[in-house]
Amino acid sequence: MGMFVNTGNSAFQVALNSEIYVDKTGLLKYTNKVLNTLQGYICNSRPRRFGKSVTADMLTAYYSRGCDSEQLFSGLEIAKSPDFKKNLNQYDVIHLDIQWCMEPAGGPEKVVSYITDTTIDELREYYPDELPEQIHSLPEALSYISNATGRKFIIIIDEWDVLIRDESANVGVQREYITFLRGLFKGTEPTKYIQLAYLTGILPIKKETTQSALNNFDEFTMLGASDLSSYIGFTEDEVKALAEKYHRDFEKVKKWYDGYVLKEYQVYNPKAVVSVMLKGEFRSYWSETASYEAVVPLINMNFDGLKNAILEMISGAAVRVDTTTFKNDAQNIRSKDDVLTYLIHLGYLGYDQAKKTAFVPNEEIRAELTSAVTSRKWDEMIAFWQRSEELLNDTLDMDCESVAAGIEKIHSDYVSVIQYNNENSLGSVLAIAYLSAMQYYFKPVRELPTGRGFADFVYIPKPEYRRDYPAILVELKWNQTVETAMDQIRNRKYPDSILDYTGDILLVAVSYDKNSKEHVCRMEQYQKE
């Protein structure tokens, strides 16, 4: 058993020893199905602390012939599969952790040579007669062994993209690494020695022009995970079971850590869920694993519309994003859409595949992004935050004139001339205008279904603020009177659907005149029967 070749099952045993382990061995049913096929080249990318390494360790423990893992998997989902024993510990597995390799290699420039030399040395221990001394290329070594023995290899690479992310400006390192991966996986010859290839990291495979540098890989990403959707993060059913076991408020867990949408699954951050179950404290655990400092340079890029988009999303709105232009590396970011796509892969934004929109998925991420944009590196955000706080206070004081003036100012300053008279513009203005409300309220519900229609915005206070802050129900009208908006709130009984959520309810009607560009506000306290 070596460092890279047939490393055994001890790492996966550590995961199983943990107080909380959520069974994801069902993934093995998929990988068993695609063994030794053209679909057996998988790149499964996801954010930090979404279980990437545990999955890589699981695959190694199951397939490696360097250990006996039958007892390890006996009580797990994969053990129920008909081909469980057929593939159990039957293959030579090469398991590489590129992040770990950086230090013993002596730096990024030496990673490829370190991996190559170490792996070949270990292979010679298994195949001393089949591997000539003059072989110094890893793809060539695998080809020699396979031709001589008929054996194929499973190659698992964890943190495959670390050289793409951390060495984005080092073209030489990236070129050598991509060339190395191509040699391992592309072309006809690798199909003779590859049983399964599994890459995992944060980013999908780097694009060159319009195509992937390894275009024979099937990609499963935060933009679309297809058949692997339920194995990226925790599903809602899994979180419900944990919340019941640990006596946590599931609805609160959902608001704090849910929001990623993959296929038909609501997906939760595993690190955050495990932490709140064990510690019982609802807060952001994200900063413990991925500092927002990495995000600040991205959102500080001066691309047209980027900052407005960030403001809108923090405030609860979703924005359109074209994910096709991103080259899957930080060095080639060229537009607002590239930044937003990168943030999706990092886990700071969710993505709706059907609507092609990005959004802040939950309260944990909202807190992190708010910290990022209010840092000293984005000074104008501080001024906006102060303005938003004034608007919220004016609303709570029921100062209609000040609210109308505040919304008008934000409408003028933060919406482009082209979009100013767009019917959707006023909704976007309201979303960002109440940015500071995110301290006290959950993200606004857009078009909350009520007894007789839909309210445009509903702000529900967080439980700890419910006694001091009312729910705020907002109706917007475009080129109609503010009285029409307030009448609609009353006549359609909009407050009925939120009576169970809070004590006081504040009704807010806002109108906008296209010609005069005048905003008018009316407010009243809802009187419960």
Tell me the pLDDT tens digit for each residue of 396-431. Answer: 999 999 999 998 888 777 665 445 455 566 677 777
Q: Which of the following CATH numbers is that of domain 408-525: 3.40.1350, 1.10.10, 3.40.50, 1.10.8?
A: 3.40.1350
Residue 444 has pLDDT above 50, yes or no: yes
Instruction: Give the burial class of 188: count Cβ atoms within 10 A of its Cβ; 0-12 exposed, 13-18 middle, 19 or more buried.
Output: exposed
For 209, the 3-state DSSP assignment is: coil
Question: Domain extents for the chain?
Answer: 10-220, 245-287, 408-525
Report the b/e string of 374-403 with b at 16+ CB within 10 A: bbeebeebeebbebbeebbebbbeebbebb
Residue 31 has pLDDT above 80, yes or no: yes
Tell me the pLDDT tens digit for each residue of 77-121. Answer: 999 999 999 999 999 999 999 999 999 999 999 999 999 999 999
Residue with tokens 């190395």: 180
Q: What is the pLDDT of residue 32?
A: 97
* Assigned token pair, 214: 């390894």
Residue 380 has pLDDT above 70, yes or no: no
Cα dihedral sign, 23-27-28-29: positive
Tell me the pLDDT tens digit for each residue of 161-178. Answer: 999 888 877 889 988 999
Task: Please give the Cα distance from 198 to 6 (Å, whole number).
Answer: 15
- The pairing of strands 445-449 and 234-235 is unpaired
Instruction: Give the burial class of 48: count Cβ atoms within 10 A of its Cβ; 0-12 exposed, 13-18 middle, 19 or more buried.
Output: middle
Q: Which residues are within 8 A (CB) of 496 and not within 5 positions of it... i.e. 6 or more apart?
A: 450, 451
Determine the average pLDDT of the residues in 191-213. 84
Task: Please give the Cα distance from 447 to 473 (Å, whole number).
Answer: 10
The topology under which CATH files domain 10-220 is: Rossmann fold (3.40.50)
For 287, the 3-state DSSP assignment is: helix
Per-residue confidence at 279, pLDDT binned at 50, 70, 90? very high
Determine the average pLDDT of the residues in 337-357. 93
Q: Which residues are within 8 A (CB) of 253 and not within 5 positions of it... i.e. 6 or more apart?
A: 239, 243, 268, 273, 276, 282
C-alpha distances (whole Å) from 155 to each of 13, 24, 33, 54, 381 are 20, 20, 16, 16, 46
Q: Which residues are within 8 A (CB) of 37 and not within 5 positions of it... i.e. 6 or more apart?
A: none
Per-residue confidence at 452, pLDDT binned at 50, 70, 90? very low
Residue 290 has pLDDT above 70, yes or no: no
